[in-house]
Amino acid sequence: MRVGYISRIDDRKAVDYTRKLREDLEAEGFITSYDHIAHLSSRERPRQLDIDADLMVVVGGDGTVLRTVQLLKKQIPIIGINWGEVGFLTDLEPEEAPAFFRSIREGFPVEKRMRIAISVGGEYLASALNEAVIITSRPAKMLRFSLIVDGVAVGTVRADGLLVSTPTGSTAYAMSAGGPIVDPCIEGFLIVPLAPYMLSSRPWLMSYERSLEVRLENTKPAKLVIDGQKTWELHERTYLTVQRSSEPALFVDVGKKFFEKVENKLRCL
């Protein structure tokens, strides 16, 4: 089995753990296809990874997993080993990993997680596993948005920002902003206003089969942030279209139930 390794690099213990895990798995017969730690020694920051591997091992928190998904040219099944704060996207604790890898020599089940493809002005920018969020560039200044669903204007929102999340992202920024926790088996768009001016501006959950467009109606400067990894400046009268990405993120199913994981993780917050 060919394995790629990516570790968070701001924690020396995480780097050392990743190196040791790679060595142990090589001793077990696993083949190293890509080693992020070795790549760092070249002092080059990878823009996009075109890797031929059966599995990507990611040691870090949710941010490391999100960055990995963004870097992969073609999605590869990911197994996250938690070296962060909460880790909704990391299913294994460091001490669980050795036994788990011994159990998957003959293969493993894969869970698909929907991503959303974001276009601005008709031009595709990127896909998000968690969320795309529009925020004001000037503190204490509100933005105004129009929501267009299936070609029909369904409302105007005045808020500090607007978040479009996947079900996977419902336990991330969207949850902190007051959105519901959504079963990742459901495929849809979760729209959550950030600090809305009107109490009637509530979160929306709609099917991915709907056509969704978000229009920035005012002239105040704003930014688009995708998965906390990429940022773009938005201009007056910008419109965003949101679609289900044709390429979902892939995760190794380690057999842990989603709502059990939510209960255990939320106790850490």
Give the catalytic positions in this structure.
Answer: 62
Comparing CA positions, the residue from 4, 5, 250 lying closest to residue 110 is 250
Q: Answer for the pair 90, 56: CB distance below 8 angstroms, yes or no.
A: no
Q: Which two tokens stand for residue 127?
A: 């896909």
Q: Give ∠ CA 168-197-225 in degrees, rounded to 5.
A: 40
Comparing CA positions, the residue from 143, 168, 152 lying closest to residue 235 is 143
155 CA to centre of own chain: 27
Q: Which two tokens stand for residue 72?
A: 């992969």
Give the integer Cα–Cα distance in Å for 11 and 30: 25
Ramachandran quadrant class, 65 (left: phi over 0; alpha: psi -120 to 50; beta: rest)? alpha
Tokens 């808020």 found at: 159
Q: Which two tokens stand for residue 47?
A: 């823009």
| Number of neighbours of residue 130 by Cβ within 10 angstroms | 30
Comparing CA positions, the residue from 1, 253, 3, 33 lying closest to residue 106 is 1
Give the integer Cα–Cα distance in Å for 87 and 193: 24
- Beta-bridge mates of residue 122: none
Which H or E element spans position 100? helix 97-103
